[in-house]
Structure formats: C-alpha cells, structure tokens
C-alpha cells in the first residue's frame, strides 16, 4: 500500500520489466506516469493500467537524446509536481565485440542506459528533497557486477549506474530518500531481440538464457518489494546469480569460467 495514490514514474514501460512494474503499481492504486520511445506500445500499457488505477499518463520520449530527456523531465515535473517514486528502467543491450563496435554505438548505449537515468534523477530530486521523502530505483544488470563478452558498452553503463547511485544513496540519507539498484539476471523479455549489433542493427534473436528466464511479472514483484523495503540493492533471477557471488568469493574460478564463453 506504500505507493497507493502516490505519483510514480516508470521509464522503459512499453514492454518487459518496465511494463510489469507499471502494471503492478497500477494494481496498487498508484498515480502513474509511464514512458518509453514506442508510443503505440506505451498507449497499450496505459490502457491496461487504467483498468486498475484512475491516473496513468503516457509520455513518450527518446532516452538516447539527452536534450529531449531533460526537456521532457522538466515539463513533466512542472506539470504533475513532485515524484514520489522514479523507476529508471529504460535501456538497451548489446551483442558485439568491443574492438568491432564504433564509439558512436558505445555513446548511444551510455546515453540510454546511464545518462538518461542521471538526467531524470537530477530533475526529480529537488522536489523529493523539498518534500523530505522519495524513492529512486535504477535497473542495472548482473553485467553491472562483472564484465561479460559481447556487452562491453552495456556492462560499462551498468557499472556506471552502480557508482552513481551508490554515491547518491549516501548523499541523500539526510533527506529521507531511498535508492534501490536492481541487478536482474535472466528475465524473459525482448532485451536480446532489441540488442545492438556492431553496425547498429537490432540483434533480432532471443537468447536461450533469456527465453528460459524468470517472468517479467515475477521480477517486478521482487523489484517493487525491495524498493518498498528500502533495500540498497536486489539481485533478481535464478542460478545465474551464483556468478556474482563466485566472482566476489572465488575470483580465480570466476575468470576460468567466464573465459570459456564462446564469443564467435
């Protein structure tokens, strides 16, 4: 009931984890703002959310365009007022070797997966600080805990999320603002289908691990529960999460395993 009648903003809400989070918040009676770059899919999610809550505003914009992100963020806060919960969830993955990937692709992934989170967060923070309350969530990945082949820029962005939001958590403690970083493993979404290849095209294939992963709905429930409890971070997934612990406790074993992954 924490989010009932509270203004909650979810990015990347047109599919996958973001859509599932939006639906779960709608069922809780939250006042919703949902965003993504896909206007048609976003409107579908909006209609489904409105079956459960009285307010769901769909605001599409392009996370890869920092000028647009900042403009939309400022307009949204000015129109709707202080945000109670911001879920930075929009993102894009990668399937390309680092030495074959152009810097332009690296920058695009960083803009979407990291800088958009920073811009949105900095825009909503003044209202949260004034209200002396608020929740901010950032969707990372287990690739934010260790590097993984074919995901150099993606892993870099997810590592950057950890550094920024862990620092922010410490700085915002006096203002009663909670920061939660989520590290999903294999979740059954379209992330691998939409992942960027070295030439900028979509990967267009569902990874086997992704197809057999946890449902987005289950992921959303775990994610929101962690946010509500004020957890600093939450690992979400199945047996693949063991790699996070193996790297921390047995790094030599981790590197032996990771080096066996086929990158061709």
Catalytic site positions: 154
Q: What percent of the chain is helix, strand and coil (3-state, nearest 5)?
A: 50, 15, 30
Orientation of helix 216-228 relative to helix 16-27, angle to 10°: 60
Beta bridge partners of 134: 177
CB 91 within 8 A of CB 152: no
CB 162 within 8 A of CB 143: no
Beta bridge partners of 221: none
Does an H or E element contain 33, and which?
A: strand 31-35
> Of 138, 146, 236, 241, which is closest to residue 189 (Cα–Cα)?
236
Residue with tokens 């990945």: 141
């Amino acid at each position: 009931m924490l989010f009932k009648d509270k203004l909650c903003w979810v990015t990347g809400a047109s599919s996958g984890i973001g859509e599932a989070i939006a639906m779960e918040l709608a069922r809780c009676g939250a006042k919703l703002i949902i965003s993504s770059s896909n206007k048609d899919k976003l409107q579908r999610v909006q209609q489904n959310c409105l079956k459960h809550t009285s307010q769901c505003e769909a605001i599409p914009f392009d996370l890869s365009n920092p000028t647009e992100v900042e403009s939309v963020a400022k307009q949204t806060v000015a129109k709707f007022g202080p945000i109670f919960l911001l879920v930075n969830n929009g993102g894009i993955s990668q399937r390309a070797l680092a030495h074959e990937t152009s810097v332009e692709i690296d920058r695009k992934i960083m803009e979407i997966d990291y800088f958009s989170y920073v811009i949105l967060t900095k825009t909503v923070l003044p209202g949260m600080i004034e209200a002396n309350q608020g929740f901010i969530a950032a969707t990372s990945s287990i690739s934010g805990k260790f590097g993984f082949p074919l995901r150099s820029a993606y892993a870099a962005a997810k590592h950057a999320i950890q550094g920024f939001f862990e620092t922010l958590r410490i700085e915002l403690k006096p203002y009663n603002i909670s920061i939660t970083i989520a590290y999903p493993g294999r979740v059954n979404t379209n992330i691998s289908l939409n992942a960027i290849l070295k030439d900028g095209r979509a990967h267009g294939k569902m990874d086997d691990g992704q197809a057999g992963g946890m449902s987005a709905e289950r992921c959303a429930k775990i994610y929101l529960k962690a946010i509500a409890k004020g957890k600093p971070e939450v690992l979400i997934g199945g047996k693949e999460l063991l790699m996070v612990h193996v790297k921390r406790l047995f790094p030599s074993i981790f590197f032996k395993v990771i080096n066996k992954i086929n990158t061709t």
